Amino acid sequence: MTHEEHHAAKTLGIGKAIAVLTSGGDAQGMNAAVRAVVRVGIFTGARVFFVHEGYQGLVDGGDHIKEATWESVSMMLQLGGTVIGSARCKDFREREGRLRAAYNLVKRGITNLCVIGGDGSLTGADTFRSEWSDLLSDLQKAGKITDEEATKSSYLNIVGLVGSIDNDFCGTDMTIGTDSALHRIMEIVDAITTTAQSHQRTFVLEVMGRHCGYLALVTSLSCGADWVFIPECPPDDDWEEHLCRRLSETRTRGSRLNIIIVAEGAIDKNGKPITSEDIKNLVVKRLGYDTRVTVLGHVQRGGTPSAFDRILVSHWAVWPSCLETLNLVVLPPRVETVAVLPPQTKDVTKAMDEKKFDEALKLRGRSASFTNLLPVPLLGFCPHFSLGSHTVAVMNVGAPAAGMNAAVRSTVRIGLIQGNRVLVVHDGFEGLAKGQIEEAGWSYVGGWTGQGGSKLGTKRTLPKKSFEQISANITKFNIQGLVIIGGFEAYTGGLELMEGRKQFDELCIPFVVIPATVSNNVPGSDFSVGADTALNTICTTCDRIKQSAAGTKRRVFIIETMGGYCGYLATMAGLAAGADAAYIFEEPFTIRDLQANVEHLVQKMKTTVKRGLVLRNEKCNENYTTDFIFNLYSEEGKGIFDSRKNVLGHMQQGGSPTPFDRNFATKMGAKAMNWMSGKIKESYRNGRIFANTPDSGCVLGMRKRALVFQPVAELKDQTDFEHRIPKEQWWLKLRPILKILAKYEIDLDTSDHAHLEHITRKRSGEAAV
């Protein structure tokens, strides 16, 4: 992008007006979306208007449509629901209502509309856009608008941001509010689990979702439920007998509780609703178990939005605020614009109404979320299996990360289902060398999904110095495959095992690395297990800190985050918490940049927003330490603002894993063990396992929408070993958005090429922006 194009981006909105509204059911993250649209819109030079009470406000006009300012969206980021209000509008369904809405937009010169809502809201937007020319013509004929106004408003650009906790919109992997709703659900499930264990109860939990079973499906995988009912996949005709048998066998094996998850739209194969009360009555009548029903209801819509939802909408918001010649566009998470409203959403409901459930699953499965989840079995119930001849060991390496235990549980139980003998190794490679190894049965990993840290124990020790002892124990325990769950040490340990194969034949067994670290710095994967939990911990802490500053006024907080040399946590937490600056190693900065940030905050204190938040990655600069930056801000801000500092430390590694990390870890463990079973069979030669090809030692990583296996040897060239980070990191291109939302005058370009060029130039010695 040329300098002229950059300048054009910053003046793109001059002379234009954008209206933003929230419609339909509320969802956490809607406020964050409104904030981002307003601020990016103002950044481009456009006038931005709030439309209060959704489409009803658009129809009624008057004070329902008000111009927004930069300060008017301050402190909205962490609020649930929608501050500008939402309503289901009957008037807008009629042409007369849409005519009034068109009049209100034309009179204000608004030709760009951002609609944040679900399927019905975006369908209404599509209808509005398609009728626009006819509506203008009718207004002209009635003399309500002039010819000049009609000419200026000859087009209507609409962008739809899909906001719905149900995640029922085809064409997008995740909708605004879904991740936050899962947070609320898992908080309740975790709390219920403790009381259920105390009294040996069965709990039937009903979650929202209408005709979509996504919330129920992810919840069941994340909590280790015994059974799940979802609309898209009705149970077999004899489900009552099957369910009772499963619950009974689970109790016989020593479990003190049963959890059954029910989607509110659950049905049987004849289309008859399956309610939570029906299930309770069945369990009580046939098994006599103490059974309770909890209908979660609207609590799922409430509470603060998760870090994922905040970052998602901040990324999306660049697009509606840069409207040029778009018609109706729906933005999925990867920002792949869909030029028309995806028809599959209604097709799913139609297929279920016609009892074509296989077709409904295929349509729903076009979403990567459903495609990845459906093959993963529920691991709460222990099936009948026979142990085979293959032995697989699983271990944790590096620093602890929330979700490690969920990955171990998934790996162990999938391994057992496949007929493998599964061993667990305590204390990483050091334990493998010392023989701290034991066999794991089904119950060994019971209840591990929601537990933080590492139950197996984990150390940073690498294997190279202990090859002889490790080789001896591989032989002693007949280990034929190794699943390594951990961070950068797990990856470098894998590289050492590959090198060690030249000397020790015993190391010629398949191994796979599952990235699990709060730093998110493992090459070959966009995300690591544990990073989402750490990010939400930072985000929650920053929310509380900002709230404390709201009372004292004129206060700036400097927060130090973990991550080693990787700036992922600082950058993403900066986006999620609304930081004024985030200092990271990947984007070098000078004293002039620090001074510019101080001056920026001085100007901010002159507005109604009298607080500041600055994040610093722990190893962003060896000289500009947290203490140095704190002292600098304190000195330069004398008489204008006070400064405070917080080092978050190891609290970022603790806590229960988030729904994302539980779900991600479960999928990764299942995928890794499926790969391992196939690779062991493939490597069986002359009565033994011998795997010495590059593809027999891999990192299992998430690349965009897919889980892929990449040979560790091939990832060496993509690694900065000195700083323990990948050479290219996808999240760096989001940093300009962070600066725009903090009101810095910068270039608006989030393309990969431009960003890499930007980083290279600065590494050559030019000061960071």
Residues 489-508: tens digit of each pLDDT: 999 999 999 999 999 999 99
> Which stretches of 468-569 are assigned E, i.e. beta strand?
481-486, 511-515, 555-561
426 labelled ligand-binding: no
> What is the distance between the alpha carbons of residues 421 and 429, in angstroms, rounded to a whole number?
20
pLDDT at 387: 56
CATH number, domain at 395?
Answer: 3.40.50.450
CA of residue 372 relative to chain centroid, distance? 15
pLDDT higher than 70, residue 376: no
Residue 273 lies in a domain: yes
Residue 414 lies in a domain: yes
Residues 255 and 280 in one domain: yes
Residues 263 and 317 in one domain: no
Residue 733 lies in a domain: no
pLDDT at 118: 86
Mean pLDDT, rounded, for 414-441 = 96
382 labelled ligand-binding: no
Q: What percent of the chain has pLDDT over 90?
A: 69
Highest mean pLDDT among 41-45, 114-118, 155-159, 421-425: 421-425
Residues 563 and 646 in one domain: yes
Residue 723 lies in a domain: no
Residues 225 and 292 in one domain: yes
pLDDT higher than 60, residue 543: yes
Number of domains in the chain: 4
264 labelled ligand-binding: yes
pLDDT at 754: 35
> What is the distance between the alpha carbons of residues 32 and 106, in angstroms, rounded to a whole number?
27
201 labelled ligand-binding: yes
pLDDT at 767: 32
Q: Is the dihedral of CA 265, 266, 269, 273 positive or negative?
A: negative
431 or 7, greater pLDDT? 431
> What is the distance between the alpha carbons of residues 187 and 404, in angstroms, rounded to a whole number?
19
Residues 515 and 609 in one domain: no
CB–CB of 195/290 below 8 Å?
no
pLDDT at 752: 40
> What is the distance between the alpha carbons of residues 530 and 663, in angstroms, rounded to a whole number?
11
Residues 278 and 183 in one domain: yes
Structure tokens of 4? 């002229």
Quote the crossing angle between the two packed helices 178-199 and 214-223, to the nearest 10°.
50
Q: Is the dihedral of CA 471, 472, 474, 475 positive or negative?
A: positive
Residue 543 lies in a domain: yes
Range(s) of the domain holding residue 447:
385-520+662-691
Q: Within 108-177, where are the H helices?
A: 119-141, 147-152
Distances (CA, A) of 86 to 21, 96, 527, 712: 8, 20, 34, 50
393-403 pLDDT, tens digit per residue, is 999 999 999 99
563 labelled ligand-binding: yes
Mean pLDDT, rounded, for 267-289 = 94
Split at pLDDT 50, 70, 90, the class of 356 is confident
pLDDT at 217: 92
pLDDT higher than 50, residue 5: no
Mean pLDDT, rounded, for 206-211 = 89
Residue 115 lies in a domain: yes
Report the mean per-residue pLDDT for the chain: 88
pLDDT higher than 50, residue 33: yes
Mean pLDDT, rounded, for 513-539 = 97
Q: Which of 278, 301, 324 is the last residue of a domain?
A: 301
Q: Which of 675, 691, 707 is the last residue of a domain?
A: 691
pLDDT at 378: 58
Residue 331 phi, psi (nearest 5) = -105, 110
89 labelled ligand-binding: yes
pLDDT higher than 50, residue 769: no
Residues 327 and 220 in one domain: no
pLDDT higher than 60, residue 325: no
Q: Within 288-355, where are the H helices?
A: 307-316, 344-353
> What is the distance between the alpha carbons of residues 532 and 17, in angstroms, rounded to a whole number?
36
Region of 167 on the Ramachandran plot (φ > 0 left; ψ -120 to 50 alpha; else beta): left
Q: Which residues of 756-768 are buried (b: 16+ CB within 10 A; e: fewer)?
A: eebbeebeeeeeb
Residues 407 and 499 in one domain: yes
Residue 147 lies in a domain: yes
Distances (CA, A) of 400 to 107, 371, 392, 530: 59, 29, 22, 9
Split at pLDDT 50, 70, 90, the class of 314 is confident
pLDDT higher than 70, residue 679: yes
pTM for the model: 0.90
425 labelled ligand-binding: no
594-640 pLDDT, tens digit per residue, is 999 999 999 999 888 888 999 999 999 999 999 999 999 999 999 99
Per-position DSSP letters for 637-673, written without gaps between them:
TTTT-EEEEEE-GGGGG-SPPPHHHHHHHHHHHHHHH
Structure tokens of 435? 């023989």
Which of 497, 288, 250, 516 lies closest to 408 in space, CA to CA?
Answer: 516
118 labelled ligand-binding: yes
Residues 165 and 209 in one domain: no
Split at pLDDT 50, 70, 90, the class of 749 is low
Residues 536 and 514 in one domain: no
Structure tokens of 2? 């040329």
301 labelled ligand-binding: yes
Split at pLDDT 50, 70, 90, the class of 210 is confident
pLDDT higher than 50, residue 585: yes
- The position carrying tokens 């009892």 is 355
248 labelled ligand-binding: no
Mean pLDDT, rounded, for 262-275 = 92
209 labelled ligand-binding: yes
Which of 102, 100, 119, 98 lies closest to 111 in space, CA to CA?
Answer: 102
Q: Which of 212-226, 306-320, 458-472 has the lowest mean pLDDT?
A: 306-320
Residue 711 lies in a domain: no
564 labelled ligand-binding: yes
What is the SS3 assignment for 410? helix
265 labelled ligand-binding: no
pLDDT at 321: 52
120 labelled ligand-binding: yes
Contacts of 654 (CB under 8 A, 6+ apart): 402, 452, 453, 537
Residues 597 and 669 in one domain: no
151-183 pLDDT, tens digit per residue, is 999 989 988 888 989 888 776 788 899 999 999
CATH number, domain at 603?
Answer: 3.40.50.460
Per this entry, what is the length of the chain? 769
Q: Which of 282, 301, 320 is the last residue of a domain?
A: 301
Residues 646 and 541 in one domain: yes
Catalytic residues: 166
pLDDT at 14: 85
344 labelled ligand-binding: no
